[in-house]
Structure formats: C-alpha cells, structure tokens
Structure 1
Amino acid sequence: MAPIKISYVVSFSSQDPKYPAENLLSDDGVRPWLGCPKKRSRQLSVELQLERASPIGYVDVGNYGCAFLQIEVGRSSWTCDQPYLTLVPTVTLMTPADSKLDQNRCGVRMFKEGDFSELTVGQKWDRVRLTCSQPFSPCSRFGLSFIHLRTPQEQEPDPPRPPLDTEDGELSDRPLCSSPAFHRTSFPEPCL
C-alpha cells in the first residue's frame, strides 16, 4: 500500500483564489479546495495528474460540504474526446437534511478495490477526475479538503514448505507411513 503522489492539477471547473485546487496536492489537508464564491455553481470538478501510472487500490477523500462525489480515472495518453472510466460511482457524502442544516460538512470517506468499478481494478492510471456537487444548499460553499491515493495491498507469497519426508533435499521413495513425521501423529503404529 504505497502512497501515489499527485504531481499537479490538470484542470478545474472553479476555484476560490484563497482556496485553490492546488490545495489538494498538500498532504496535510489543512486548506480545502473550494469553488469560486462569485459563481454559484452546484457542481465542481478537478482533474489531477499522478506522478506515474499506477494501479489504485485505496482512495481516501476529505469532504468539505459536498453532498455527492464521483471519481473517474483515465490516462494522459488518451485523446481529449476519450471518456474517463468510473472508478467510484456517485456516492453520498452528506444527506439532504445535513446539507440544508449545514451540518456534518467535514467527513472522510475511504474506498477500496471492492468499491471500484470492475473495469478499472488492476489497471494503471495516471489521471484522476473528482466531480462533487451540492444541490441541496445553494448558498453554502463546498469542495474537498484532501484526496489520498494508495496502491493495492501486495499479496505476499506463502513461504515454501519442505516435503514431509526428505533425505538430502530429495524426495524419498519410502512410503509415507515410514516417515518420522507420520509416527509423530496420532495414527496407529503398524503400517501395511
């Protein structure tokens, strides 16, 4: 589970100059990315370039007032008209009631491979697009406080086990019941 570094912001739909999309590149998540206060858009998107193409196994997202979030992936080598693939389908980050009451704005959602679209699992990606929306509270400002990406957990191979009956590293031709390991079990002593 190695961290996947985000190199830079490719594009964004809106940003507050005080809270730009570049804030998502910071690891501490102290300052969020928020939409421009003059534009009352109910949907924001940002596209991020990863340092290198990597399989994505885990995504952690810090919310900052969004009701819904969708995560898509793509490759920088694709043509501009090629659509991105959905990594995480649209998920709810805030309920309509919380949105209208301006409560529970800053939560964290964690996603793993089991939450991802099957088409995206195991492939390498170097672009991530986040689309967030807040249709329930037209006056509140919203965005994201952070995004952390990690590679899948690597499966460690089982250590090799030596055969039960070996002599000088070679398999023995003796029957299994003549093996010392066989006699240490609770099987009856006589062997046919």
Structure 2
Amino acid sequence: MGGTRQVLTMVVLAGALVYAGYLIGHRVRTATEKTPPVATAAASTTSTVGVAPGDIAPNFTLTTSTGQTVTLSQLRGHPVWLNFWATWCPYCNKEIPIVEQEAVTHQGQLDVVGVDVEESASKVSSFMTAHHMTYPVVLDSQGAVSASYGVTGLPTSVFIRPDGRVGALYTGAILSVSQANQMLAQILPHS
C-alpha cells in the first residue's frame, strides 16, 4: 500500500511540474508564421479585434502609477510593446532590465508600456523606483485588460505595429537583447 501511495504521489508531482513548465514556458506567435492561404487572405481583409497576428489590438484606457491616463488607440502611428507583468513574478523581474534597455535604445521610435496586473499604485511605484524603471506602467487593477488580451501567464508581451495591429505575441520572459530585437523586428520600421 505504501509503495502505491508513493507512486501516486510521484505521478501527481510529475504532472504538476509539467503543468508549471507549460505555464512558465513560452509560446511565440508572429505575423510570419505559416498559415493556410485562405486564412492569410482573410486576415488581411478583416478588422477583427484580438491578439492573433494581424488582428487589431484591443483598445483600453488605464491610469499609470503616477496618475496619467494612457489610451492605446492614441499611440497609433507608433510601434508599441505592451509588457504584462507583476512585482511578485520572478521571471518578470528578470525581464525588466531588458525591457528598460530596449525602451531607452528605441526612445522616440517605440512606445513601451508596462501593464501591471492587479496590484496597487503604491506597490508598483515603489517597485519602479527600486528597479530604475523609466517607461510608463499602467495599472490593470481589475485584470480586465489582461483578460481581453488572453494573458494566462506572466510575463506576456504583445508587439503592436504602428497601424494598431498585432505583430507578435510572446508568453514568457524575454531574457536577452537579441531575443527582444527579434520580436521588435516584427513592428519596427526597417532602416
């Protein structure tokens, strides 16, 4: 009986580890993925709001940790990197220096907007100061915006082209400049 219980415990633990790996792992969808010709043609003529490449990114209006209002549609004409995160998320903490570096590197060419999920303004402000974050962070205090973007794990990044359409979606931490640049290549004008 004890051996059966140990086997069952090991199976449950293995399943939990696999599921945790799935949540922590990443999934990338970009505008260059292969899709059937009919789907590609339909995507180019539709005005679907969603998070698949080619969809119009869902609009939102949120307040930053400093009280300013940000409306996504007002950023049209510029590429946008939306980065969904939280202060408690260890992978978000590892990713923030890369996001900050890219925000500085592409200043004037790219709007980087952090979207903190369900935390207080004071907690986010303190965290931003401690981590030297200079890009704006809006507060998704009820989680409605992250839900509209289908965010199921943190961090998640949505790369939006100047026309307001999704160029790429990345779930998981972006941990290098080269990885960030691969994603940004989907939305930045080529020089």
Name the TM-score, length of structure 1 as normaliser: 0.25
In terms of fraction of residues, the more helix-rich structure is: 2
Of structures 1 and 2, the larger Rg is shown by 1
Tell me the TM-score normalised to structure 2 length: 0.25
Q: Which has the higher strand share?
A: 1
